[in-house]
Structure 1
Amino acid sequence: MAVSFLAHEVSDLCLAKPALRSLSVSATVADALSALKNSDETTISVWDCNHTSKAAGNNGGGDQCRCVGKVCMVDVICFLCQDQNLLSPSVALKAPVSDLLPKIPGLVVHLEPSSSLLEAIDLILQGAQNLVVPIQTRLSSRRKQHPKASTTTITVHNGREFCWLTQEDVVRFLLSSIGLFSPIPALSIDALGIISTDVLATDYHSPASSALQYISRSLADQTSVAVVDADGILIGEISPFTLACCDETVAAAIATLSSGDLMAYIDCGGPPEDLVRVVKQRLRERNLEGMLEEFSIMSSPASGNPLSSSSDEEPSLSPTTTLPRSGRYSRSTSYSARMVRRAEAIVCHPKSSLVAVMIQAIAHRVNYVWVIEDDCSLVGIVTFSDMLKVFREHL
């Protein structure tokens, strides 16, 4: 039964999924930033299209339009955090959007609707983050892409619309018929051997900028960066999922704050006023006038940020100042999910069952769950890819 289930076509997973909004590979970083801010989605697909000519022997099919990657706010933030871009963010925004695309092949792969679920799982296990699948909608046959739409956000490519198929979609589909895979789902993640100890972690008091490479890698791996103390206790996380819901001014926070303060900065409700003031002061101290100007505009009350500072007075703080927190680190010691703070990590126990961890991750729209002991010491991480590998190997 489970084997036949994996023969489902991927089109079954694409029902009611929205069409991709996309950007031309000739667009700029500023175009990508604008598209992200005006989209309900956290990612924008990037396409390389040729609508004005046909290669020899090409009948005008899908080969003329290919999705070459995707960008999200985290890509923009990490790009602006580069030293030369911190000096002049306005110039950085004029760079081509291709500069944001990771130099890792196979993260985005095209797949036909008739392909099997098993094929999709194999591609994910080979490293694919997103599968691009054509979808048929009532609008597809009537909507046309304007041939001059080189940088604007578009949805139709060669008369077809496409959707993302993600790791989460596949895991959710498996969970809908989890009984077919018994007894695997009831086994603990420890017994299944899927707890990875290869985690990305940064110290609570270390500069957030020192974790920048980890943030970029966690985005590529669809995981997160753990924030721990000197004893290896999990305090929270710097998650690409959370950063993708922020704006580009987080680049200034990463450049000036500690990892612990960055968690508070990207927390629910917007950045605290005290941290906004600290960021401004430290940008001045580092002579990052370009970034300071952009940050001041975006964090001003006129920009619509309700928690931005209403006073021009800056506190006297040294570059090494760490702001006080309630409790030791304001962390939760229970195995609860993220309920109030987005910077708090989703955690489980090594003896948690596979199905319980799957449900936990899906319920909170993350591709991973941190594994901790009773004292909150970090054991490792379990990812959707690890889970899919279990189902694939046991069949």
Structure 2
Amino acid sequence: MAFSLLAHVVSDLCLGKPALRSLSISATVGEALSALKTSEDSFISVWSCDHSANIQDECRCVGKICMVDVVCYLCTDDNLLSPSSALKSPVSDLLPNIPGLVMHVEPHSSLLEAIDLILQGAQNLVVPIRSSISNSSRRKLYQKPQTSPTTMHKGCEYCWLTQEDVVRYLLSSIGLLSPIAALPIDTLRIIDTDVLAINYHSPASSSLPAILRSLRDQTSVAVVDENGGLIGEISPFTLACCDETVAAAITTLSSGDLMAYIDCGGPPEEIVRMVKTRLKQRNLEGMLEEFALDSSSTLSLSSSSSDEESLPSPKTALSRSGKYSRSSSYSARMVRRAEAIVCHPGSSLVAVMIQAIAHRVNYVWVIEDDCCLAGIVTFSSMLKIFREHLESMA
């Protein structure tokens, strides 16, 4: 039973995975921004390579970047005054000084080894895959400067595996993980109460450290009221679907207004006007000139948004009354991306897994019956439970 699951290797999870688009460590922030805008993936891998050598190990993925990295970088004090200069900085400035976020693994590495690396802090596992590109095409690639996004490294293409990939794979074999999967999450003690949260009325700029940490932890920043009730979230998942102009919104708006700014459909015109006015008041004309702010180009949502809106309505909707007027249903993101995916302490582990996978997030907020925030459940905590279960079965 569990032994058959343990026998799988990471190449089993790579079937059908696209080749990584990658950027050289020598690229600029501006080049990274252009690559992100044309990429179908939210993240682009950053590589340190010497294509003149013949040793494949000298091509290494040293990190990954997304639009959130660029936006937070533009929001720093110096870069607010001159965003055009910030875009000329090296892309290495965007990479966190945290070792082990991206790890290379061999295709024959076991599923258990992959889970262990994730539990040790790896966000992405880089795996070599077979390439259909001919040898002559490879030689041409090596002769070109590798400053624009490419997929080839020393004649090899790579894909990467994420926490979501591993959890989705385990879900396909959920019968082998019973009875753990059917137990309530509070019984399993996987609700983390150390959450990142900000008050609804607080300046959005004060959440920047929390946004960066949530990006590294693959979680989110909860937006709460004075009583600790969950109103919504500022999620890296959502911000990664925006363009760089959202930096101006983070700089000038409250957390509540920022949620409205990044909701589906683009920001209301009155909030865009508010952002422009406040940029002028703070003498940030450089940002105003660099970014053509309007209500139609700020949010470049992926095709998944239409899928979310077509999902069936949740059976249980916990309505919130009062001045915030935010919904707190089990699947709130079906309506707006700034709203949060929530569950209750009595929800089963498998139900929470399905929720997170259906909405393409790595976490689910846990709320009490009165909508007060109780904590968060992450893919990492789920994998830890399954790892312990598999080990006990071995």
Q: TM-score under structure 2 normalisation? A: 0.91
Kept in 1, the 8 Å contact 2:268–2:295? The answer is: no
Q: Residue type matched to 1:121 in 2?
A: I
Secondary structure (helix, strand or coil) at the match of 1:338 reads helix
Partner of 1:62: 56
Partner of 1:333: 328
61-70 or 326-335: which moved more? 326-335
1:122-152: CA deviations, max 9, x gaps? 0000000000000113226564123332311
Kept in 2, the 8 Å contact 1:134–1:162? The answer is: yes
Q: Does structure 1 residue 190 correspond to structure 2 residue 183?
A: no
Q: Does structure 1 residue 127 correspond to structure 2 residue 140?
A: no
> What are the residue-to-residue correspondences of 1:39-78 with 2, within 5 Å?
39-52=39-52, 54=53, 60-78=54-72
Q: Select 1:364's aligned residue among 335, 359, 365.
A: 359
Q: Does structure 1 residue 231 correspond to structure 2 residue 227?
A: yes
Aligned Cα root-mean-square deviation (Å): 1.6
1:258-313: CA deviations, max 9, x gaps? 00000110110111101100000000000011011123x24387x6989xxxxxxx
Kept in 2, the 8 Å contact 1:337–1:360? The answer is: no
User: Offset at 1:334?
Assistant: 2.8
Partner of 1:114: 108
Q: Select 1:378's aligned residue among 346, 368, 373.
A: 373
Distance, in Å, in 2 between the alignment partners of 1:215 and 1:3 is: 39
Partner of 1:84: 78
Distance 1:348 1:61, change over 3 A: same
Q: Select 2:168's aligned residue among 172, 184, 200.
A: 172
Kept in 1, the 8 Å contact 2:43–2:66? The answer is: yes
Kept in 1, the 8 Å contact 2:265–2:299? The answer is: no
Q: Which runs of 5+ in 1 are unaligned?
A: 55-59, 307-325
User: Offset at 1:6?
Assistant: 2.1
Q: Does structure 1 residue 13 correspond to structure 2 residue 13?
A: yes
> What are the residue-to-residue correspondences of 1:194-209 with 2, within 5 Å?
194-209=190-205
Kept in 2, the 8 Å contact 1:140–1:160? The answer is: no
Kept in 2, the 8 Å contact 1:140–1:156? The answer is: no
Q: Select 1:354's aligned residue among 337, 349, 357.
A: 349
Distance, in Å, in 1 between the alignment partners of 2:38 and 2:130 is: 24
Distance 1:336 1:153, change over 3 A: closer
What is the identity percentage for the equivalent residue pairs of Structure 1 and Structure 2? Answer: 76
Partner of 2:308: none
Distance, in Å, in 2 between the alignment partners of 1:221 and 1:304 is: 25
Aligned length: 368
146-155 or 65-74: which moved more? 146-155
Partner of 1:57: none
User: Offset at 1:337?
Assistant: 3.8
Q: TM-score under structure 1 normalisation? A: 0.90
Distance, in Å, in 1 between the alignment partners of 2:299 and 2:153 is: 37
Q: Which runs of 5+ in 2 are unaligned?
A: 301-320
Distance, in Å, in 2 between the alignment partners of 1:26 and 1:204 is: 40
Distance, in Å, in 2 between the alignment partners of 1:242 and 1:333 is: 18
1:36-84: CA deviations, max 9, x gaps? 00111111100000012x3xxxxx2321100000000000000000000
Distance, in Å, in 1 between the alignment partners of 2:352 and 2:39 is: 30
Distance, in Å, in 1 between the alignment partners of 2:328 and 2:72 is: 31
Distance, in Å, in 2 between the alignment partners of 1:99 and 1:284 is: 28
